[in-house]
Structure 1
Amino acid sequence: MRLFFLVTFFIIFISCTDKYDKYKKTPEYITKASASNAAYYKAYDETLKLWNVAFEELYIPTTHGIAHVIVSGPKNADPVVLLHGMNASSTMWYPNIESLSKNHRVFAIDLLLEPGKSYLYNDIESVEKVIDWYKEVLFALELESFHIIGASRGGWLAVNLALSNQKRIKSLILLSPAQTFTWIRPSADLFKNIAKLLSSKEKQIEQSLESMSSNVANISAVYLKQYKLGLEKDSENKFVSSMKPFSNKELKSLQMPVLVLIGDDDMINEKRTVEIANMLPKGKGEVIQNAGHFLSIDQAETVNKKMQAFLK
């Protein structure tokens, strides 16, 4: 009888223990941040209030630094990993997270090289090392198989990751993926200059947002404050110029279902992107009307419905 109670207690204890507990302590780079960093982290937390879902923040030690991951949704649900766009941080998913979290366990990862809550302390020398870093984070999260949703550069990184993880990735959703299927219009030089443009003066930031979004007024002022503060921080966008579209052979080797969505006023993609997506073994490409590059914000409701339907 005593053995029965001990076994029962052990099972209850294990079931109540969260495997991520060891990653939940907030590190000192946040609790004892400098004035400028503290202002950014405060703005980040203000944007998180827009999420309208319960979430946890994890700080995972890795070879190159601390990976910040926001986790939401039912614990035993099918996992979805979110890779944000350039300089956007994981908070960019505020119009989409409630929908995604209803039926999935969602893991939003802040890229180590950009503004966010991840913390870089060992330099990353190549795109391959960036992918290795993502794999390290996914290993720590103990995700055996999962879906990936990537926006803009996050879409390019998602495909890069998928090419070496075919068996683990259940599906890909690419939202206006940058430099993934075709060169950016009107030339590749445009993409090389985006980081510099976004990191310049206030007026240039506004002009850039207007070129990326079909409705800048629709972007939350709370998020914009965080976004602009993030651009004032150092951002390691050194791999942008090395990005190039994947070959047809590489793209057609993707065996998982792939959904590609672009805006009808998308400066990063054109209809050729959709045509190529539809030629993949399990690919589907669509154009979202009245949307720019930031289609997950411009037409959040439409994009959310399409992502939900695809993930089912």
Structure 2
Amino acid sequence: MRKLLFQFSLLFLFVSCATSKKAKFDDYVFKTKSEKQTYINSYDKALKLWDIPYSEENIKTTFGTAHITFAGPKNGKNLILLHGMDASSTMWYPNIKALAKNHRIYAIDFIMEPGKSTLTSKPLSSDEIVLFYNEIFDHYKLKKFDLVGASRGGWIATLLATQKGNSVDKIVLLSPAQTLKFIDKPRKTSSALLLKLFPSEKKFSKTLKTFSTHPEKISPIYNRQFYLANKYAKSNSSMLKMTPFSNDELKSIKNPVLVLIGDQDVINSEESLERAKKYLINSKTETIKDAGHFLTIDQSKIVNDAMIDFLE
């Protein structure tokens, strides 16, 4: 495993160096201004897939501008959505109607990835990631809120929940990456790295088939945005700093936690659920049949029902 991680590190370093030479403007995520605008145009089209009333807002943080998309009743319980790697808040289109029915949604674009948040500092450490989100929570005076995190967003949700004095209530982890264990099938997931190195439609299609059992369910509009995120954004080596949480860190989380993984997931396995059961003392776990890492799309209704039943 360490050897594979070292190889991944070299790949990310190679890409980061290569893309930095091509950079033509001061942006820590995108390579050129025109490519960023093309991506943003695609983002706006994908966000319309939510198909419910929503609003957007940018707020200033210590590390740059945070972009938040709101939906749902203003008097509903606050629910923070943390998306997967390179997926942005638009990824919630198969789930947002169910989640926003009784919750006030705050979907936050992670500042170090493609989206509408804009990083103006150096890449963030784990402590700084916590500060970034806490500044958002403080800005909106959010207390006793729920968290839903997918993939990398699940890792961030877990990180936030381990902090003393946090305001988190219930937590849903959707195939959290590098959270309960290291990547289950690293060789299969290498297709995502190759896509970053040499982006192409063919490699993108292969990656989708690796992470999803039903890639045909993915909206072409969202597909386009997700592809552009991989094609135009600089590589983000911060994923290499994401390591599974220790037994003590997991045991420190007393909150109710729901952990869902797909039965054909390449990131997690039953070992992940066993560790959750053992160390997340107030957890409920479930394996979703005929679903991969993209379980929110592969089996959206089943996942939506499970989340709503748990949260409400």
TM-score by length of 1: 0.85
Q: Which sits farther off after the overlay, 162-171 or 98-107?
A: 162-171
Tell me if the contact between 1:113 and 1:237 (Cα under 8 Å) persists in the aligned partners: yes
Runs of 4+ that moved beyond 6 A: none
Match of 1:287 in 2: 287
Which AA in structure 2 matches 1:58?
Answer: E
Match of 2:163 in 1: 164
Once residues 164 and 44 of structure 2 are traced to their aligned partners in structure 1, the CA distance between those partners, rounded to angstroms, is 32
Match of 1:36 in 2: 35
Q: Deviations over 1:251-291 (max 9, x none)?
A: 11111000000000000000011122223221011000000
Which AA in structure 1 matches 2:80?
Answer: V
Tell me if the contact between 1:113 and 1:236 (Cα under 8 Å) persists in the aligned partners: no
Matched, 1:51 2:50: yes
Match of 2:243 in 1: 244
Match of 1:220 in 2: 219
Tell me if the contact between 2:191 and 2:203 (Cα under 8 Å) persists in the aligned partners: no
Once residues 146 and 234 of structure 2 are traced to their aligned partners in structure 1, the CA distance between those partners, rounded to angstroms, is 27
Matched, 1:97 2:96: yes
Shift of 1:143: 0.5
Which AA in structure 2 matches 1:231?
Answer: N
Q: Relative contact order, CA 8 A, sep 6+: which one is greater?
A: 2
Aligned to 1:112, the other structure's residue is in SS state coil
Tell me if the contact between 1:274 and 1:284 (Cα under 8 Å) persists in the aligned partners: no
Once residues 144 and 291 of structure 1 are traced to their aligned partners in structure 2, the CA distance between those partners, rounded to angstroms, is 33
> Residues 149 and 165 (structure 1 numbering): CA distance in 2 closer, same or farther, change over 3 Å?
farther
Shift of 1:298: 0.5
Match of 2:201 in 1: 202
Shift of 1:110: 0.3
Aligned to 2:50, the other structure's residue is in SS state coil
Shift of 1:167: 4.6
Q: Deviations over 1:136-190 (max 9, x none)?
A: 1111121022000000011011101110055510011000001111111245x87
Q: Deviations over 1:106-125 (max 9, x none)?
A: 10000111110111111134
Once residues 218 and 229 of structure 1 are traced to their aligned partners in structure 2, the CA distance between those partners, rounded to angstroms, is 19
Tell me if the contact between 1:114 and 1:236 (Cα under 8 Å) persists in the aligned partners: no
Tell me if the contact between 2:185 and 2:267 (Cα under 8 Å) persists in the aligned partners: no
Q: Deviations over 1:61-104 (max 9, x none)?
A: 11111100001000011000011000000000000011000000
Tell me if the contact between 2:181 and 2:244 (Cα under 8 Å) persists in the aligned partners: yes
Tell me if the contact between 1:195 and 1:237 (Cα under 8 Å) persists in the aligned partners: no
Match of 1:11 in 2: none
Match of 2:300 in 1: 300
Tell me if the contact between 1:259 and 1:284 (Cα under 8 Å) persists in the aligned partners: yes
Once residues 45 and 164 of structure 2 are traced to their aligned partners in structure 1, the CA distance between those partners, rounded to angstroms, is 35
Once residues 262 and 43 of structure 1 are traced to their aligned partners in structure 2, the CA distance between those partners, rounded to angstroms, is 29
Equivalent runs, 1:272-283 vs 2, <5 Å: 272-279=271-278, 280-283=280-283
Q: Which sits farther off after the overlay, 166-175 or 229-238?
A: 229-238
Once residues 114 and 277 of structure 2 are traced to their aligned partners in structure 1, the CA distance between those partners, rounded to angstroms, is 34
Shift of 1:127: 2.2
Shift of 1:201: 2.6
Once residues 255 and 165 of structure 2 are traced to their aligned partners in structure 1, the CA distance between those partners, rounded to angstroms, is 7
Q: Any stretches of 5+ residues in structure 1 without a counterpart?
A: 1-28
Q: Deviations over 1:19-44 (max 9, x none)?
A: xxxxxxxxxx9xxx943222211111
Once residues 194 and 144 of structure 1 are traced to their aligned partners in structure 2, the CA distance between those partners, rounded to angstroms, is 40
Corresponding residue pairs, total:
279
Match of 2:12 in 1: none
Higher-Rg structure is: 1
Tell me if the contact between 2:60 and 2:66 (Cα under 8 Å) persists in the aligned partners: yes
Match of 2:10 in 1: none
Aligned to 1:74, the other structure's residue is in SS state coil
